[in-house]
Amino acid sequence: MDLSGHLLPTPLQELLDDRLVKAGIQVFVKRDDLVHPEVSGNKWRKLKYVLREVEERGLSKVLTFGGAYSNHLYAVAAAGSAMGLETIGIVRGEQPVEESATLQFCRHKGMQLDFVSREQYKQRQAPDYLVSLSEEFDNPYMIPEGGTTALALPGVREMVAEVAAQLGKSPDCFCVAAGTGGTAAGILSSGANVLAFAVLKGGRFLRDDIAALTSGLSNKGSLKLQTDYHFGGYAKWNAELLTFIDDFKIRFGIQLEQVYTGKMFFGLFDLVQKGYFPRGSVIVAVHTGGLQGLLRR
């Protein structure tokens, strides 16, 4: 993926904060939100080798899946346009009267949008449905929802390697927001430990999904999964979370959003206050981007 305007390695920024000093721990933020203005955060990492395969196979068309506010659709539309690829987005739910800013951006980048019912969308991994999509759209390269495939892992490992070089050692654990679990799986596959924060309700399934993504790999890190910081479910939030995001911006100059990174950092600071991390811990929290989905207030 050769997109101009990227920043690599992304900065590693230490959070200077009384609560962390009191707990005797260090927290660094891996600023992957800064990697590229349009293909941001974990999307850059996860799509790099997927899109390289598309290029190497000389293919010209990709199809993928997402909701109306999907960071993944946004990133695929942008990367596809920059690479001269035709892109198709299968969008969950009926076509709204007014499309989200995310979908408008995707169209602007040339993505063809195909709206399917929520019931149909649930079939997005079913072989029969994939065959019918392949026929309908003339054999595109299919990228699963969130870009989560085995090819997502090596790009995420590059982020881990950057951190090791920047810190001069590996941190005790990486904190990351988890939707499909692909990013957490990539970090684990490098041998690093992960504390993953499920952003959706009932996120315990993520443990199995992450295990499946990393099965057969040796030298895996250990996974801890937090399922209590979903704020009611995927893309749900409350005033407390929005206040936390505002406060975080004032303290550290780092913008979070309410669907992924806000929940992860909220959970991280809550655990710090509860004495969860042993003194002396060095933690790297990954800013996985997604700011295009920031709630406009």
Interacting residues with ligand PLP (CB under 6 A): 41-42, 71-72, 146, 148, 177-184, 260, 288-290
Q: How far apart are CA 33 and CA 172, in angstroms?
A: 22
Q: How far apart are CA 154 and CA 226, in angstroms?
A: 24
Query: Which CB sits closer to ligand PLP, 23 or 147?
Result: 147
End-to-end CA distance of the chain: 34
Residue closest to ligand PLP (Cβ): 290
Minimum distance between the CB of residue 154 and ligand PLP, rounded to whole angstroms? Answer: 14
Q: For residue 14, list its beta bridge partners.
A: 28
Task: Find out whether the peptide bond into 171 is cis, omega within 30 degrees of 0.
Answer: no
H or E, element range at 113? strand 112-116
Among candidate residues 171, 217, 209, 224, the one with its CA nearest the CA of residue 190:
217
Minimum distance between the CB of residue 266 and ligand PLP, rounded to whole angstroms? Answer: 14
Query: Which CB sits closer to ligand PLP, 138 or 228?
Result: 228
Minimum distance between the CB of residue 260 and ligand PLP, rounded to whole angstroms? Answer: 3
Q: Return the DSSP state at 95.
A: P
Query: Which CB sits closer to ligand PLP, 23 or 196?
Result: 196
Minimum distance between the CB of residue 119 and ligand PLP, rounded to whole angstroms? Answer: 22
Query: Which CB sits closer to ligand PLP, 42 or 214?
Result: 42
Query: Which CB sits closer to ligand PLP, 148 or 227?
Result: 148
User: To 10 degrees, what angle do helices 71-83 and 42-56 make?
Assistant: 40
Query: Which CB sits closer to ligand PLP, 221 or 289?
Result: 289
**H helices within the chain, ranges in order?**
18-23, 42-56, 71-83, 101-108, 118-121, 127-136, 152-167, 182-188, 205-214, 239-252, 261-273
Q: Specify the amino acid at residue 288.
A: T
Query: Which CB sits closer to ligand PLP, 23 or 38?
Result: 38
Q: How far apart are CA 24 and CA 278, in angstroms?
A: 8
Count CB neighbours of 196 within 10 A. 29
Q: For residue 285, list its beta bridge partners.
A: 29, 175
Q: Return the DSSP state at 11.
A: P
Minimum distance between the CB of residue 46 and ligand PLP, rounded to whole angstroms? Answer: 6
| Token pair belonging to 228 | 């209590």
Minimum distance between the CB of residue 136 and ligand PLP, rounded to whole angstroms? Answer: 25
Minimum distance between the CB of residue 132 and ligand PLP, rounded to whole angstroms? Answer: 25
